[in-house]
Structure 1
Amino acid sequence: MNKNTSIVIGIIVVAVVVLIGWGMVNNNPSLPVTDNPVVVTDQTSDQTLPITSQSGVPVAVTSQKVIPTGTTVVLTGSAVPNGALTSYWFEYGPSPSLGRKTNSQIIGSGFVSIPTPIYLVGLAKNTTYYFQLKAQNRFGTVAGQSYAFQTTAGLSPIVGGVPKVVTSSASNVSTVNARLNGKVTPNQAPTQYWFEYGQTTDLGRTTAFVSVGDGSAVVLASASLTGLNPATTYYFRLNAQNQFGTVNGDLTNFKTISQPILKAPSVSTRNVSALSTSTATVHGLVNPNGATTKYWFEYSDNSLSDTASLKTTSQISAGSGSNTTSVQVDLRSLVSKNTYYYRLVAQNSTGLVRGETASFKTK
């Protein structure tokens, strides 16, 4: 065999291998049918690609898991918005060229993987259909892998429909916390809900997904937020989805409470009462001024500037409010017919304050 003959045989062998591989792909509808998908699905686990926190084009993963009947099918997959408002849809058709498109559905702008269910109707019985998930945001459009399914001969369409959602007002709003509220109606299909929220109408953050069953009654939805910024407006909405699709509630907002300006407590030494030969009750006024505060009395039978003879009562909590409250402490073991000097003292994280000095004489 000469050199030219060997080259020709090698070319023929390569061509045969390529043609056999192409035939295997096109004759097995459970295999991918796109040449260069943007995102590849693990055919056993349907896991998405790793998620990052850098804004960019979304991630789209088509799932092979389908629920076909005679004229309908439930398709699903997952998408990661990657920091920009993202919508998804499916393209499908009776040939690999697809040709039909579902309505787009919005999944927000977070960085978590979100399921992308859709329900197709009006299909032909006993027919092979090809389908592909697509997702789009301001950075671009991506396509998941293409797969195929076959409708059945006589299974009835699935009972149920897309959920209903209502975004309600936020509650328990403080400087750094808030509770998001809403209502979900599952509409006879297993349904889950979540909230999107953020400091702009693009939102960007999501709460955990919560399952609410498959009933027909309205279910209250809520999520607690922590670590918010004081005096900041946050926008949010409630979302829900089941196998029939994804639904977005109305966008609303709330504003966290401003951080109080803390300052030293205010104190005022007041009168004395219940005088006896060895006891007396001293009074005063304390305002914590918004910071956790403790108060006590200093007293002496000499001079309050004489630290050697200065005595103090036990420290008592005045709370952290902003209202002035009356306080009093009983002094005991005093000396009869003796003059005593006293004053109210209070302290919080911003400082210590002493009230004016007053005096009394025991009986």
Structure 2
Amino acid sequence: MRIIRLHGYIPLLSFAFLCIYSVFDFAYAAKAADEPAALTRHALSVEERSAVLNGLVFPGDDLTTSAWFEWGKTETLGSTTGRQSFKGIAEVSDKITGLDRGVTYFFRLIASNSNGTDKGTIFKFKTSMESSLNDENDDEDNGRVSDDVTSAFLRPVVQTRSSDHISETSVVLHGHAKSGLEDEKTTVWFQWGARPALGKTTPPQTFTGDVFDFSVPLLELKPNIQYYYRAVAENEEGISLGQVLTFVTASPPVQTAGDADFLTVATKGAENITEHSVTLQGLALLRSSKAVGWFEWGETTEMKNKAPKTPLEKINTVNSFYSSISGLQPDTTYFYRALADDGFGVKKGSLLSFRSKLKTMAPPVGQKILPSPQAQGVGGTGGTLTIESDSKEIQKGDAVRYTVRYHNNGDMNFSEASIKIIFPAVIAYKGSDIQNVSVTNGDVVVSIGTVKANDSGTFTIHTDVQGAVSHKGSLTVVAVLSFTHPLVDEKVHIPSFTSHEVKADLNGVADVAGSGFWPSTITGWLILMLLVLLIFVAIVKLYKRSASRERNKGNKVMPAPGDVFHPSENT
């Protein structure tokens, strides 16, 4: 038998296989994030001819999930129970009959929905023998030992630990578990709810080992509410419950009347202008509480008419609201503006105007009817404001630059002009290329002063994404140009908005992919797999070359017994 010496190639070969395994294992973990989970639990009511199979289903999403059991006398199973349908986390059980006495059976739970299929761990139980219910040999394979005291020692020990990262709508729960069975799997999760009875369950996590810590974030909680929770652990010997602890979510920021940080209102141009009707439009950005929006309008700047109020409910998102006005006079100028009230004071948008259309009539031959003027600023004053960013998608650690442009497109000067930029809490101001900048509670105010008619300006703001952006969706940055109206001696506010898409976290995948080693795209994974394959091919070639050298050494001609050795023939 030839012994092949690999010498230093074994570590390289192991590394190549480890890389290939890591790629597939990591890709599977990302894929399975939203798939259902099946948790097989111990059989109940095990008798001579029957048993109740038991399990727990986690749908992975708000989908209808089918669940059933596979079972049989060997680990290949072979028989199945009927399918049951559930929506949400559910306990599953099914009684099987017609079993043989004193026989060990194997079973597992399976869960399936449109996101995928998951097969739980295979458990086992042993049916009892007739007239031998207390025989130790009848109970030794029932998924638990016959001695309740011994079983208690083999069950996991679980401890509920203090929560942290508590905000208005989220928290991170922590637990600690010690497995009672060496090198066996232990499944852990949390029970939680707004009442001591709990009622909700987090998805399960499975660990192999003696001692381990585990954590789960909870999202979309309600502010200033006390919640209850406890850690739970389960292995083949049973379930253990931790102590019930509590936490209270943070309260919303204290809001004061007239605080512009919490409510921004803008009047938009009128649409669908006819002889007798029009559609008025407004925007409102809410920062903490719900509000109502409406319009004032009329033939003079006193605007004695009020449109019905519209509920505004989207927090940290731009709310659009509308009102259809009828009964107008043809060819008449009307003034209007948007208003909103969040219970802490009324905010007013800019004062705009429109002119209703002329009565429809056939024009004289060769004469054209000019269109009615659209919405514009009062008294020939008007301004535009835009804010743009250099990054549409953001995540923690990104540096984002914003470009702000403003323009006085009227025929009168703006006075006491300023631009306020309102950032989400996770975006922090770092600097600007313009002077007269102040920062209050993370929001940036740029004092401009007087802006002459038809004058404009541009400046940039530099920021960092410092907080953890853990939710999917978008974040909105608001800029508001404010100045004193030269005719009505009141503040005019012109808003502009830009939004960022939040890069999906995928339960930690984004953090690992963003660390600089793991790719974050399918193309990147394919390139990494190709590199690993090339490394593997190179290792195989080195191995073959080494093996060839060993064969050459072993194939040197040796003299047979009795032959005369002639050095000249072998040198």
Which TM-score band (shorter chain)? 0.3 to 0.5
TM-score (normalised: structure 2)? 0.25
> Would you tell me which structure has more helix in proportion to its own residues?
2
Greater relative contact order (Cα 8 A, min sep 6): structure 1 or 2?
A: 1
TM-score (normalised: structure 1)? 0.36
